[in-house]
Amino acid sequence: MDNNTTTLLDLDGLAVERVERLTDGTRRVHLITADETARACPSCGTFASRVKGLVRTRPRDLSYGERGLELAWLKRRWYCHEPDCARKSFTEQVPQIPAGARITARLRRAAALRVRDAGSTVVQAARDLHVS
- The verdict on 82 binding Zn ion (CB under 5 A) reads yes
> How far apart are CB 84 and Zn ion at their closest, in Å?
8
Site track 11-50 with Zn ion (rule: CB under 5 A), x = hit: ------------------------------x-xx------
Name the segment binding Zn ion (CB under 5 A); options: 9-17, 32-40, 73-81, 107-115: 73-81
**CB-CB contact of 49 with 7 (8 Å):** no
Which amino acid, residue 122? Answer: V
Residue (of 56, 5, 2) closest to 27 by Cα position: 5
Query: C-alpha angle 76/60/74, rounded to 5°?
Result: 20
Residues at the contact surface with Zn ion, assessed by CB under 5 A: 41, 43-44, 80, 82, 85, 87
